[in-house]
Amino acid sequence: MAKSKFEYVRNFEADDTCLRNCYIVVRLDGRNFHKFAEQHKFTKPNDNRALGLLTRSARSVMEELEDVVIAYGQSDEFSFVFKRTTHWFKRRASKFMTHVASQFSSSYVFYWKEFFGDQPLLYPPGFDGRVVLYPTNRNLRDYLSWRQADCHINNLYNTVFWTLVQKGGLTTVQAEERLKGTLAADKNEILFSEFDINYNKESLLHRKGTTLIWEKIDESVTKRMKIPNEEEKDVIVTRSKKTVQAHHCDIIGDQFWEDHPGILEADS
Positions at the binding site:
29-34, 75-76
Binding residue for its own copies, selected from 125, 166, 179, 249, defined by CB under 8 A: 125
Query: Phi and psi for 26 in degrees, rounded to 5?
Result: -110, 120
State which of positions 64-83 bind its own copies (CB under 8 A): 64
Residue 150 CB contacts under 8 Å (≥ 6 apart), including other chains: 74
**Contact call for residue 35 and its own copies (CB under 8 A):** no
Residue 29's DSSP bridge partners are 77, 128
Which CB atom, from 222 or from 268, has the smaller least distance to its own copies?
268
**Which span (100-108, 207-215, 220-228, 242-250) binds its own copies, by CB under 8 A?**
100-108
**Which span (105-113, 205-213, 229-237, 253-261) binds its own copies, by CB under 8 A?**
105-113
CA distance 247 to 25: 19
HEC letters along 176-194:
HHHHCCCCHHHHHHHHHHH
Residue 267 CB contacts under 8 Å (≥ 6 apart), including other chains: 136, 137
**Contact call for residue 139 and its own copies (CB under 8 A):** yes
**Which span (46-54, 133-141, 186-194, 219-227) binds its own copies, by CB under 8 A?**
133-141
Task: Write out the binding residues for Mg(2+).
Answer: 29-30, 76
Minimum separation from the CB atom of position 126 to its own copies (A): 5
**Contact call for residue 11 and its own copies (CB under 8 A):** yes
Which CB atom, from 155 or from 232, has the smaller least distance to its own copies?
155
**Contact call for residue 146 and its own copies (CB under 8 A):** yes
CA distance 94 to 100: 10
> What are the CA-CA distances from residue 138 to residues 80, 83, 221, 241 (Å)?
17, 14, 41, 29
Question: What is the rounded radius of gyration, in angstroms, for the C-alpha atoms of the chain?
Answer: 23
**Contact call for residue 158 and its own copies (CB under 8 A):** no
- How many CB atoms lie under 10 A from the CB of residue 192? 13
CB 28 within 8 A of CB 128: yes
CB 252 within 8 A of CB 152: no
Binding residue for its own copies, selected from 43, 94, 172, 203, defined by CB under 8 A: 94
Which CB atom, from 129 or from 165, has the smaller least distance to its own copies?
129
User: Which of 67, 70, 73 has its CA nearest to residue 52?
Assistant: 73
**Contact call for residue 126 and its own copies (CB under 8 A):** yes
**Contact call for residue 129 and its own copies (CB under 8 A):** yes
Which CB atom, from 71 or from 101, has the smaller least distance to its own copies?
101
Q: Is 83 exposed, middle or buried (0-12, 13-18, 19+ CB in 10 A)?
A: middle
**Contact call for residue 168 and its own copies (CB under 8 A):** no
Binding residue for its own copies, selected from 17, 172, 203, 255, defined by CB under 8 A: 17
Please give the residue ranges that form the binding site for its own copies (CB under 8 A). Answer: 1-2, 4, 6-15, 17, 19-22, 28, 31, 60, 64, 93-95, 97-99, 101-111, 121, 123-139, 142-143, 145-146, 149-150, 153, 183-184, 267-268
